Structure 1
Amino acid sequence: MEWLGEPPATTTRVWEERAHSILSSNDSPDVPFRWSANAYRGCAHACAYCYARPTHEFLELGAGTDFESQLVVKTNAAECLALELARLSWRGETVCLSGNTDPYQPLEASYGLTRRMLEVCLARANPVVVISKGALVRRDVDLLRRLHERAGVQVHVSIAFADAEVARAMDPGAPTPARRFETLAILSDAGVPTGVAVSPLIPGLNESDVPTILERAAAAGATRAFSTLLRLPGQVPVIFEERLRAAFPGRADHVLSALRDMRGGELHEARFGRRMSGGGARWELAQQVFELHCRRNGLELGETARPALPAEARRPHQGELFA
């Protein structure tokens, strides 16, 4: 198995399943896309703050170490996607890879399901947004470039920390920040549109990293940037606090207090329209800093609902597809 990062210390068990469908829809105003596809359940990147951890409880597994070590592979993910994109009711909307896992986590090196789903999207000329920490995305640079030329693609590399030691403590199974910046450069140099996801914003832990991350991402060729506030649903507050106190005992109370300041006294906000952002003076200042450094580095703000095609290309009208 090719990790292109640091493997987690826990023993990993993998189950294979055949999915009935692969596209998941959402009606949240917090995200610009309606559809996502997840070929894997759980994630070996082992991020302490991952909002998707509670989904493992639907499998009667835990949101803690089970989420990062008891992994499920949907072996027919690409076949399901091909069937769903071929439906007459499908309107060619952007598909996000992925919503509740990382499409380029280490298992992808063995299974290649994300690549096969990209091939399906290329065949159907369907636009795609990729959000990943995984350096393995560089393996698919040829496919991503062709998909960009035919349908539109955007790859957001998630980089929450500039400091490698902080990153190792909080997302120990993911590639180092340096490798992620390198991945941005490789994709950008190949003509693949890229952005940086400075997410999650963890007040008291990575606020000061924002200017550095945005500057380095822009230097690597990123053209967009977005950030969301730390989300701690279900059992994630317990998992996050345990990891935080173990790694940064002197900062933990300040981090949790700062998050409460941004969340109206709570650690989590579940309501649509408010769950990914905060409030109060500290949040407003963080937003101003983010926007300022995006402007300084020529980065567009926010995710994109539909990736743009190259200037010389255009999408065919529906009638042209059958001409």
Structure 2
Amino acid sequence: MSKNYLKGRGAQLNKTNKFSELIYETRNDFLEFCRVEGEEANKNKTQYIPIFPKTIVNKVTSPDIGMAFSMNPYQGCEHGCIYCYARNTHEFWGYSPGLDFERKILIKENAPKLLEAKLKSKRWEAKTIVLSGNTDCYQPAEKEFKITRACLKVFLKYKHPVGIITKNALILRDLDVLKELAKDNLIGVNMSVTSLSEETRRVLEPRTTTTKKRLEAIRLLSENNIPVNAMLAPIIPGINSHEILNLAKAVSQNGAISFAFTVVRLNGAIGEIFSDWIYKTMPNKAQKVLNQIKECHGGTLNDSRYGIRSKGEGKIATQIHDMVRIARQTYFKDKSFPKLNSKLHKQYKDGQMRLF
């Protein structure tokens, strides 16, 4: 690992925002000045920045995502997963998709009120809304702000179906609300498990829950009749692609009833951020991994074609798909994730069940 590696973060650089007219660079003379003066050149602290959006529920138009609506209580994510596709969205807020994405977290404290207004709207018809389609709703900021918990209570009040995507065992804090939602089949959880190796997990996803705790979370959720789909994603050739069968076995043994996967693609600014990262963390295998990712996407780090972009093509992608098929046949035969209940919401639109 490079001596310049920034511990506790995924990205190792703050790539310039493509929408910015200005370019910032850290010059050697500035670094020397900071050394002489005993000052920090790079304050590696997380900032929480309040914002006040006018809407919170987003319609998902991409045909290969697998959800119709999503909402994100936070923008940016302190988990720092190096491969995260959501990094690019931070540029729309005026920040870098690199370190800014992990260190400047935008907080939507009015999210529960916006959600309630949406669910009460006469024109709204119940369809599963997923927390979160972009950044993790149980990232470290949730410990302090509890926006996700407040939103879950809104979903429960209006008997509305909700999905959760997370890789944080903090979800267990809200087990009381999740159990109430589960009584009416209103909740489904997607728990991301990327590697069984803690060494791999730490460098890929530096501020996430350990794999052991994620598996425990799957087990406890399942024991409380909350359906769990495991997200074995992304599969990165040369890093975790050899773990597919073991990952599938582990999540199945802990109660997951299905799993999904994607082949990593490094779209937008993520290609440069990931490449810089892997040369600093895994220099001996960096070129091999990057070449194998390119082999899955027609010679580039990214393929934007719907239906193909997250599955890949070519020999390596075919091997991954073959392993996934074997994993499903071996550990998930005759299992399927349930469709959530959207029939109750209409009679609870005003916050309580209609009597007449």
Matching residue of 2:323: 289
> Shift of residue 82 of structure 1?
0.5
> Shift of residue 190 of structure 1?
1.8
Aligned with 1:200: secondary structure? strand
Matching residue of 1:259: 293
Match of 1:54 among 82, 88, 108: 88
Match of 2:229 among 195, 203, 220: 195
Amino acid at match of 1:261: E
Match of 2:122 among 79, 88, 102: 88
Higher-Rg member (1/2): 2
Matching residue of 2:244: 210
1:93-112 pair list within 5 angstroms: 93-112=127-146
State how far apart, in whole Å, the 1-side matches of 2:334 and 2:271 are.
Answer: 32
Aligned with 2:268: secondary structure? coil
Greater shift, 40-49 or 246-255, is seen at 246-255
After superposition, the CA RMSD in angstroms is: 2.1
Matching residue of 1:278: 312
Q: Cα gap change, 1:284/1:140 in structure 2, threshold over 3 Å: closer, same or farther?
A: same
Q: Cα gap change, 1:151/1:301 in structure 2, threshold over 3 Å: closer, same or farther?
A: closer
Matching residue of 2:29: none
> Shift of residue 37 of structure 1?
0.4
Aligned length: 312
Matching residue of 1:114: 148
Identical columns (%): 30
State how far apart, in whole Å, the 2-side matches of 1:296 and 1:10 are.
Answer: 45
1:294/1:300 contact within 8 Å kept? no
TM-score, normalisation: structure 2: 0.83
Map Cα deviations across residues 82-107 of structure 1 (whole Å, 9 max, x no partner).
00111111110000100110000000
State how far apart, in whole Å, the 2-side matches of 1:175 and 1:299 are.
Answer: 29
Match of 1:307 among 336, 339, 342: 339
> Shift of residue 319 of structure 1?
6.9
> Shift of residue 20 of structure 1?
0.5
Q: 2:66 matched to 1:32?
A: yes
Aligned with 2:300: secondary structure? coil
2:160/2:344 contact within 8 Å kept? no
Map Cα deviations across residues 192-232 of structure 1 (whole Å, 9 max, x no partner).
11121000111111111111111110111110100011121
State how far apart, in whole Å, the 2-side matches of 1:265 and 1:279 are.
Answer: 10
Aligned with 2:233: secondary structure? coil
1:240-255 pair list within 5 angstroms: 240-255=274-289
Match of 1:68 among 102, 109, 120: 102
Greater shift, 70-79 or 287-296, is seen at 287-296
> Shift of residue 318 of structure 1?
5.0
Q: 2:206 matched to 1:172?
A: yes
> Shift of residue 74 of structure 1?
0.4
State how far apart, in whole Å, the 1-side matches of 2:281 and 2:48 are.
Answer: 28
Amino acid at match of 1:141: L
Q: Which runs of 5+ in 2 are unaligned?
A: 1-6, 10-42
> Shift of residue 34 of structure 1?
1.1
State how far apart, in whole Å, the 2-side matches of 1:301 and 1:171 are.
Answer: 29
Aligned with 2:263: secondary structure? coil
Map Cα deviations across residues 157-184 of structure 1 (whole Å, 9 max, x no partner).
1011111001101110111111111111
Aligned with 1:187: secondary structure? helix
